Amino acid sequence: MDQRCVDRSKAARIVRASIAFGVAAAVVLMPISASYPSPSRSALQYPPARRGDHVDVYHGIAVADPYRWMEDIDSPETRAWIEGERELTTEFLSKIPDRGEIARRYKNLLDHERWSPPTRYGKNWFYWHNTGLQNQSVLFVTSDPAQKGRILIDPNKFSKDATVSVTAYAISHDGTLIAYAVSDAGSDWQIWHVREVATAKDLPDELHWSKAGGASWRKDGIGFYYTAYDPPKPGEALKAANQYEKLMFHRLGSPQTDDILIYTRTDAPDWYVGGDVTDDGRYLVVTASRGTDVKNILLLQDLSEPGAKLIPIIKEPTASFGFIENIASTLYVLTDDRAPRYRIVAIDVSHPAPADWREIVPEGPDTLENASLVGGRLIAQYMRDAHSEVRLYTPAGQPIGIVELPGLGSASGFDGHRDDSVTYYSYSSFTTPSSIFRFDLTSGKSTLWHSPALAGFNPADYDTTQVFYQSKDGTRVPMFIAARRGTAQNGDNPTILSGYGGFNIPEIPTFSAAWAVWMELGGTVAVANLRGGGEYGREWHEAGMKTLKQNVFDDFVAAAEYLIARKWTNPKRLAIWGGSNGGLLVAAAEEQRPDLFAAAVAHVGVMDMMRFRAFTVGRGWESEYGSIDNPDEFKAMLAYSPLHNVKPGVDYPATLIVTGDHDDRVFPAHSFKFAAAMQHADPHGNPILIRIETRAGHGAGKPLYKTIDETADAFAFILYAFGATPDNTSSGIVR
């Protein structure tokens, strides 16, 4: 559910490597010392939630939806329920001892500098930087990365509460102009502006009703391509289904009403589209896919010929085709066509038939995740058992070396142009903060550009190990376990288990300041690489899709069983966390195996599998989850849909449901309805709370102070469920 989820385009890679470089929004545990009293089993007085009699019939099966009225999130009845839940949750969490200390500890460790890898356009280099506690990272520009840059865009000045953020951007080929998209209160809707790099002043251009897509400039600088939807009806902006996305061209200085439609699909409402201009400026490469399906088509427009039409290069979405770059009339494409773990092929635009492709980098045993063509080198980023390896090839496919990485972690970046002699990349792991390296393409050597220093945290004191366990059907699944060096497997370690398992997105080792605080005082972090993700290519992804989605939950449950069997922890000291598709994972897992977990934290989860397509971009997820119109897919979704599998009389773990009132990706009614159903089914058991953040969306662009408060609340809740409190004096866990 994170933006396009599957976009491997050049523009998407750059956005991910820059704007998204900041604080990981992971919710994990704080260290534990003295015991709390055992969690109270006295009944909370949950706000009343009327159970209606609404029933839908699918394929002859009646499915009740008693909280359908909550989908009108602005009705007086829904608002009264929301306010009651917010008061209850705030009061409950505020009374947990040391909640304030949790926030202070987390804030202290977040107070370190962060950078993105610099990227050159013309004579200018651009990078994002955060001094530590800035709510939003700041874009800098410099003529020399060895020298400090000047501020080009500071989103912290966009609003008093820092809830307006930059969500996407595109820099002109000569580095003189930047188009940047701004989001308000975490919404996926974004407004495009254009700023002069020399003066840091905005031009009058302003483009509305764009969502999730990036932008790409024509090389002559007269304008740029971007994506947009038709305006929603008044009052429906955060709810209405978004259909028929369009690729548009905007000419600088002209009104948006004059923008030119380049491509859309009139035959299906749920197609996503995007466009990249090649580095030499000759071609516009258009990518289109049905929803979040990794399979896509490619079209090409020759910009050197006035009036040239789009021509199909890949006509049917039979596989994933990610445009890398071109050399003259040859496109370099990353694809899983006849290569489930991906390969690189060269396609002559005059002869695009598969029989005429040239294989440049063949499929290997490891998953080829991304690739870029920089300075005459193909830089191929692989995943080997979910951690990074980076290999170099000539444009003809001859291996010419590797990029030496510091350890078991993840690397990203490696962007640039065909005439660059250097590129930059970031490296991090569960125990190593993100450091930025300069890579010399001629010598093949990396040198450190910037690395943060965390007060009181020494990465050498911690270990990350990778284990493999068997899922229910015997599938071998990898998992990372990170903890203080020498942590004993005594069956009593406070542990958090996290996962995602969907949309071809891999879970790779990355640094989180929250996890660092937890491990600093002896906690254990486990991240499972579930089916449905992208760790092992197409087959791994498809094994967790549609009617096979139950495999993902089985993998997650098996990870918990492994941690318990190997005495890392026990069910009273094991919590699970996930967001978005991972929120669905947490909710389904706690319903199917409530005996395994003490606490569950589900962020912005997809909880109603019968109704997700009715809101915002949800219809695009049918390529991942399936459609209620298909009888087999409907039955599979109904079998695990969190909302529809809440059962009375079950001793569910303590559960914290988290959403934002401006979440227009996973509509907040998913969380509202699930919370009401859980509270109704288990009113006398462990606490079932919902935390509803105001002026916040799905997560992107959330200001740092909101992240700190949200994380501290989640930590405090989990500690309550464990019956424990943070240790503020020692360097280890006092049991």
- What is the distance between the alpha carbons of residues 411 and 432, in angstroms, rounded to a whole number? 12
Q: How confident is the model at residue 697 (pLDDT cuts 50, 70, 90)?
A: low
What is the structure's pLDDT at 21? 34
Of the candidates 469, 465, 487, the residue with the CA atom closest to the CA atom of residue 478: 469
For residue range 481-527, list pLDDT tens digits in order. Answer: 999 999 999 999 999 999 999 999 999 999 988 888 778 767 899 99
**682: exposed, middle or buried (C-beta count within 10 Å: 0-12, 13-18, 19+)?**
buried
Could you count the other beta carbons within 10 Å of the beta carbon of residue 441?
Answer: 18
Region of 501 (left: φ > 0; alpha: ψ -120 to 50; beta: rest) is: left
CA 370 to mean position of chain CA atoms: 16
Q: How confident is the model at residue 97 (pLDDT cuts 50, 70, 90)?
A: confident
What share of the chain has pLDDT > 90, as a percent?
Answer: 79
| Residues making up the chain, counted from first to last | 735
Joined tokens for residue 583: 């929120």
Q: What number is the average pLDDT over the span 585-612?
A: 97
- What is the distance between the alpha carbons of residues 233 and 123, in angstroms, rounded to a whole number? 44
* H-assigned helices in 249-359: none
Instruction: Say if strands 119-121 and 61-64 run parallel, antiparallel, or are unpaired.
Output: unpaired
Rounded to the nearest 5 degrees, what angle is found at the Cα of 650, between the Cα atoms of 649 and 654? Answer: 125
pTM value?
Answer: 0.90
Q: What number is the average pLDDT over the span 354-363?
A: 98
What is the structure's pLDDT at 4? 42
Of the candidates 259, 88, 16, the residue with the CA atom closest to the CA atom of residue 657: 88
What is the structure's pLDDT at 218? 98
The answer on pLDDT for 27 being more than 70 is no
What is the structure's pLDDT at 726? 56
**The listed CATH number (3.40.50.1820, 3.40.50.1370, 3.30.450.40, 3.20.20.450) that belongs to domain 55-108+456-722:** 3.40.50.1820
Rounded to the nearest 5 degrees, what angle is found at the Cα of 549, between the Cα atoms of 544 and 550? Answer: 115
| Residue 604 CB partners (closer than 8 Å, separation 6+) | 1, 579, 580, 583, 658, 659, 660, 663, 665, 666, 671, 698, 699
- What is the distance between the alpha carbons of residues 363 and 75, in angstroms, rounded to a whole number? 54
> What is the spatial order of strands in the sheet that 688-693 belongs to?
462-470, 476-484, 524-528, 495-498, 574-579, 599-603, 654-660, 688-693
| Residue 370 CB partners (closer than 8 Å, separation 6+) | 8, 13, 322, 334, 380, 381, 412
- What is the distance between the alpha carbons of residues 498 and 698, in angstroms, rounded to a whole number? 18
Rounded to the nearest 5 degrees, what angle is found at the Cα of 226, between the Cα atoms of 225 and 229? Answer: 140
Q: What number is the average pLDDT over the span 317-342?
A: 98
Domain spans, the chain: 55-108+456-722
- What is the distance between the alpha carbons of residues 14 and 9, in angstroms, rounded to a whole number? 9
**319: exposed, middle or buried (C-beta count within 10 Å: 0-12, 13-18, 19+)?**
middle
Which pairs from 409-413 meet CB under 8 Å and 24+ separation? 409/508, 409/509, 409/510, 410/508, 410/509, 410/510, 411/381, 412/16, 412/17, 412/117, 412/370, 412/381, 412/388, 413/17, 413/116, 413/117
For residue range 528-556, list pLDDT tens digits in order. Answer: 999 999 999 999 999 999 999 999 999 99
- Could you list the active site residues? 580, 698
Q: At what angle do helices 704-722 and 76-94 cross, to 10 degrees?
A: 70
Joined tokens for residue 626: 């399936």
Q: What number is the average pLDDT over the span 274-289?
A: 97
Cα→Cα distances 133→24, 162, 323, 694, Å: 14, 12, 37, 21
- What is the distance between the alpha carbons of residues 66 and 69, in angstroms, rounded to a whole number? 8
What share of the chain has pLDDT > 70, as a percent?
Answer: 92
The answer on pLDDT for 323 being more than 60 is yes
Strand partners, 299: 286, 312
27 or 118: whose pLDDT is higher? 118
The answer on pLDDT for 307 being more than 50 is yes
For residue range 131-185, list pLDDT tens digits in order. Answer: 999 999 999 999 999 999 999 999 999 999 888 999 999 999 999 999 999 998 8
